[in-house]
Chain A
Amino acid sequence: MATNIEIEPGAALESALVTTESYENFQEMSSSLEEIKNSNFIPSTTDEYLDNCNNLDNDIHLNCSITSTNSKDEEYLQDEEWLSKSKHVFVLSSAGKPIYSRYGNEDRFASYFGIMQALVSFVQADDDSIRSIHAGDTKFVFLFKEPLILVAVSKTEECTLQLTAQLNYVFNQIASTLTLSRLVKIYEQRRNYDLRRLLTGVDRFIDNLLDFSENEPAFTLSAVQCLPLTSSIRDAISAAIIQSCSKIKNVVFGILLAKNQLITLVRMKKYYIHPHDLHLIFNLVQASESFKTVESCWAPICLPRFDSSGFLYGHVSYLAEDCQACLILLTVEGDAFSSLSEAKQRIVERLRRGSCLEAINESLASREESCMEVGFPELRHYIYKSKSTAQFYQPHISAPYSINSRRLVNIYKQAHYKLHCPTRPLKLLFERTPQDAILAWDTRGFELYAVLEPLIETSSAISTVGRLLNWIKKREDKLFHLNAPTF
Chain B
Amino acid sequence: MTTKSEIELKSFFIFNSSYDSKEGEEYNKVLYYYPSTDDINTQVNNVGLVEAIIKFTGNFKPSGPLNSLHTQKKRQLYYEPEPNYWMVITINLPYINKTKNDSTVVEYIEEDVHDTVYRAILKQAYCMYRLFSGTYSSTEQQHSITTLRSKLEHFFSAYLKTLNLTNCDILNVFAGIHFLPLDKQNFLNVQCFINALECNYPIIEYVSFLFNDSLIWSGIEPDDTQIIYQYLIGTLLPANIETELQGGSIPRNPSSPFASLHYGRFITGPLNLKTTNTIGKVPKIFLNNEANPAVYYFIVYRALNATICLFVNGDVDLTVDLFKELDEFMGSRLSSIASDIAEYCTRNIIPPSNSDTSPRFIYFNKLNLAYKSTVHLDNRQSGNVACNKELVQIMADMNSRKDLLSYAGETIVKTMNDYWVVGKVSNLREFYVALQHKNASLIDISGLLGKVFGDSLIMWEVYDLLAVLECANGIRPQNCINVAQDEVKKICDTELKGIFFHPM
Nearest A residue to B449, CB-CB: A458
The answer to whether A431 and B410 have CB atoms under 8 Å apart is: yes
B161 at the interface (CB under 8 A from A): no
Among B45-100, those with CB < 8 Å from A are 45, 49, 52-53, 55-57, 59-74
* Bound: A77/B446 CA distance, A: 51
A64 at the interface (CB under 8 A from B): no
The answer to whether A136 and B69 have CB atoms under 8 Å apart is: no
The answer to whether A434 and B408 have CB atoms under 8 Å apart is: yes
* Bound: A402/B368 CA distance, A: 42
Q: Contacting A123 at CB < 8 Å: which of B71, B442, B443?
A: B71
Residues of B within 8 Å of A153, CB to CB, are: 60
Q: A297-337: contact bitstring with B at CB < 8 Å (1 yes, 0 no)?
A: 00000000000000000000000000000000000000000
Residues of A within 8 Å of B442, CB to CB, are: 1, 428, 430, 458, 461-462
A372 at the interface (CB under 8 A from B): no
Q: A137-175: contact bitstring with B at CB < 8 Å (1 yes, 0 no)?
A: 110100000000000010101001000000000000000
A130 at the interface (CB under 8 A from B): yes
Residues of A within 8 Å of B397, CB to CB, are: 418, 421, 424
Q: Is the interface of B mostly helix, strand, loop or mixed?
A: mixed
The answer to whether B410 and A459 have CB atoms under 8 Å apart is: no
Q: Contacting B52 at CB < 8 Å: which of A119, A127, A140?
A: A119
Residues of A within 8 Å of B259, CB to CB, are: none
The answer to whether A424 and B64 have CB atoms under 8 Å apart is: no
B293 at the interface (CB under 8 A from A): no
Residues of A within 8 Å of B72, CB to CB, are: 128-129, 131
B109 at the interface (CB under 8 A from A): yes
The answer to whether A138 and B57 have CB atoms under 8 Å apart is: yes
Q: Please give the distance in Å from A70's CB to the nearest CB on chain B.
A: 14
Nearest A residue to B55, CB-CB: A115
Q: Contacting B71 at CB < 8 Å: which of A129, A433, A458?
A: A129
The answer to whether A414 and B404 have CB atoms under 8 Å apart is: yes
Q: Is the interface of A mostly helix, strand, loop or mixed?
A: mixed
The answer to whether A133 and B57 have CB atoms under 8 Å apart is: yes
Nearest A residue to B441, CB-CB: A1
Known contacts being A432-B410, A433-B406, A462-B442, is A135 close to B416, with CB within 8 Å? no
The answer to whether A426 and B446 have CB atoms under 8 Å apart is: no
The answer to whether A119 and B71 have CB atoms under 8 Å apart is: no
Nearest A residue to B450, CB-CB: A458
The answer to whether B409 and A431 have CB atoms under 8 Å apart is: yes
A435 at the interface (CB under 8 A from B): yes
The answer to whether A132 and B70 have CB atoms under 8 Å apart is: yes
The answer to whether A134 and B56 have CB atoms under 8 Å apart is: no
* Bound: A115/B57 CA distance, A: 11
A118 at the interface (CB under 8 A from B): yes
A429 at the interface (CB under 8 A from B): yes
Q: Please give the distance in Å from B39's CB to the nearest CB on chain A.
A: 14
B343 at the interface (CB under 8 A from A): no
The answer to whether B71 and A135 have CB atoms under 8 Å apart is: no
The answer to whether A160 and B73 have CB atoms under 8 Å apart is: no
Residues of B within 8 Å of A128, CB to CB, are: 71-74
Nearest A residue to B71, CB-CB: A128
Q: B384-407: contact bitstring with A at CB < 8 Å (1 yes, 0 no)?
A: 000000100110010001001111
Residues of B within 8 Å of A294, CB to CB, are: none
Q: Contacting A421 at CB < 8 Å: which of B52, B111, B408?
A: B111
* Bound: A89/B394 CA distance, A: 31
Known contacts being A1-B442, A462-B442, is A429 close to B413, with CB within 8 Å? yes
The answer to whether A135 and B409 have CB atoms under 8 Å apart is: no
Known contacts being A128-B71, A133-B68, A430-B411, is A138 close to B49, with CB within 8 Å? no
Nearest B residue to A140, CB-CB: B57
Q: B409-449: contact bitstring with A at CB < 8 Å (1 yes, 0 no)?
A: 11111111010000000000000000000000111001000
Residues of A within 8 Å of B110, CB to CB, are: 131, 422-423
* Bound: A153/B60 CA distance, A: 8
* Bound: A36/B412 CA distance, A: 50
Known contacts being A132-B70, A427-B414, is A433 close to B409, with CB within 8 Å? yes
Q: Please give the distance in Å from B87's CB to the nearest CB on chain A.
A: 16
Q: Please give the distance in Å from B436's CB to the nearest CB on chain A.
A: 15
The answer to whether A138 and B71 have CB atoms under 8 Å apart is: no
Residues of B within 8 Å of A26, CB to CB, are: none
The answer to whether A134 and B70 have CB atoms under 8 Å apart is: yes
Nearest B residue to A425, CB-CB: B416
Known contacts being A1-B442, A128-B72, A459-B443, is A133 close to B406, with CB within 8 Å? no
B112 at the interface (CB under 8 A from A): yes
B464 at the interface (CB under 8 A from A): no
Residues of A within 8 Å of B69, CB to CB, are: 130, 132-134
Among B344-403, those with CB < 8 Å from A are 390, 393-394, 397, 401
* Bound: A404/B187 CA distance, A: 54
B169 at the interface (CB under 8 A from A): no
The answer to whether B64 and A427 have CB atoms under 8 Å apart is: no
Q: Contacting B56 at CB < 8 Å: which of A119, A131, A424, A432?
A: A119
Q: Contacting B60 at CB < 8 Å: which of A1, A138, A433?
A: A138
Residues of B within 8 Å of A428, CB to CB, are: 412-414, 442
The answer to whether A458 and B66 have CB atoms under 8 Å apart is: no
B115 at the interface (CB under 8 A from A): yes
Q: A84-106: contact bitstring with B at CB < 8 Å (1 yes, 0 no)?
A: 00001000000000000000000
Residues of A within 8 Å of B413, CB to CB, are: 418, 426, 428-430
Among A239-284, those with CB < 8 Å from B are none
The answer to whether A462 and B443 have CB atoms under 8 Å apart is: yes
Known contacts being A115-B56, A128-B73, A458-B443, is A426 close to B64, with CB within 8 Å? no
Q: A436-464: contact bitstring with B at CB < 8 Å (1 yes, 0 no)?
A: 00000000000000000000001101100
Q: List 7 A-B contacts (CB under 8 A).
A: A123-B71, A131-B71, A133-B68, A136-B64, A157-B404, A431-B405, A458-B446
| Known A128-B73, A459-B446; further 19 A-B contacts with Cβ < 8 A | A119-B53, A127-B73, A128-B71, A130-B69, A130-B70, A133-B57, A136-B62, A137-B63, A140-B56, A160-B70, A414-B401, A424-B394, A428-B413, A428-B414, A429-B413, A429-B414, A431-B409, A431-B410, A431-B411
The 6 A-B pairs at the shortest CB distance, nearest first, are namely: A136-B64, A136-B62, A138-B62, A136-B63, A428-B414, A458-B446
Q: Which A residues are within 8 Å of any B CB, using their own CB?
A: 1, 77, 83, 88, 112, 115-116, 118-119, 122-123, 127-138, 140, 153, 155, 157, 160, 414, 418, 421-435, 458-459, 461-462
Q: Which B residues are within 8 Å of any A CB, using their own CB?
A: 45, 49, 52-53, 55-57, 59-74, 109-112, 115, 390, 393-394, 397, 401, 404-416, 418, 441-443, 446
